[in-house]
């Protein structure tokens, strides 16, 4: 089993982070993030020196990059918060930079409170 695990690619994933967002606002904030990340992709704005390659908007917004790194923002289904996750097969630093960009973008809404945890 350990040999099989050794063959798996290394990835750097954040914990699931949950910034507070009122129940009556969280879905609107997610919709705003969908629009914002589509605009970022269309304008070819780089995040950690990479352009967004793909955006998936099923249950939130998940954007990915050419190197396989990605970020996710969605509304929590059972508490007044959002869910934020980032991952990179490239580096821990890239994972962190994607999170910093997401956090900065969320804070601009003025509707985000404290996180349950951060990286």
* Tens digits of residue pLDDT in 58-111: 999 999 999 999 999 999 999 999 999 999 999 999 999 999 999 999 999 999
Phi and psi for 71 in degrees, rounded to 5?
-135, 150
CATH code of the domain containing 35: 3.30.310.50
- Answer yes or no: is 78 within a domain: yes
Q: Is the pTM of this model over 0.75?
A: yes
Asked if residue 5 has pLDDT above 90, the reply is: no
Domain count across the chain: 1
- Answer yes or no: is 76 within a domain: yes
The single residue listed with the structure tokens 């396989």 is 68
- Answer yes or no: is 114 within a domain: no
- Answer yes or no: is 112 within a domain: no
Concatenated DSSP letters of 63-74: EEETTS-EEEEE
Structural domain boundaries enclosing 73 = 6-107
Determine the pLDDT at residue 7.
87
- Answer yes or no: is 115 within a domain: no
**Per-residue pLDDT tens for 49-67?**
999 999 999 999 999 999 9
Asked if residue 3 has pLDDT above 90, the reply is: no
- Answer yes or no: is 70 within a domain: yes
Asked if residue 48 has pLDDT above 90, the reply is: yes
Under the banding of pLDDT at 50, 70 and 90, the label for residue 6 is: confident
* 82-106 burial code (b ≥16 CB/10 A, e <16): bbbbbbbebeeebbbbbbebbbebb
Helix residue spans in the chain (DSSP H): 2-7, 23-42, 92-107
Cα 39 to chain center, whole Å? 16
């Amino acid at each position: 089993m350990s040999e099989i695990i050794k063959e798996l690619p290394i990835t750097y994933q954040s914990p699931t982070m949950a910034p507070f967002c009122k129940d009556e606002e969280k879905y609107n904030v997610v919709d705003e993030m969908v629009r914002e990340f589509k605009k970022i992709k269309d304008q070819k704005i780089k995040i950690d020196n990479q352009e967004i390659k793909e955006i998936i908007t099923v249950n939130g917004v998940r954007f990915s990059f050419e190197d396989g790194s990605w970020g996710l923002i969605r509304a929590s289904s059972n508490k007044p918060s959002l869910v934020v996750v980032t991952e990179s097969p490239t580096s821990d630093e890239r994972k962190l930079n994607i999170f910093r960009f997401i956090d900065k973008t969320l804070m601009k809404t003025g509707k985000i409170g404290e996180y349950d945890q951060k990286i």
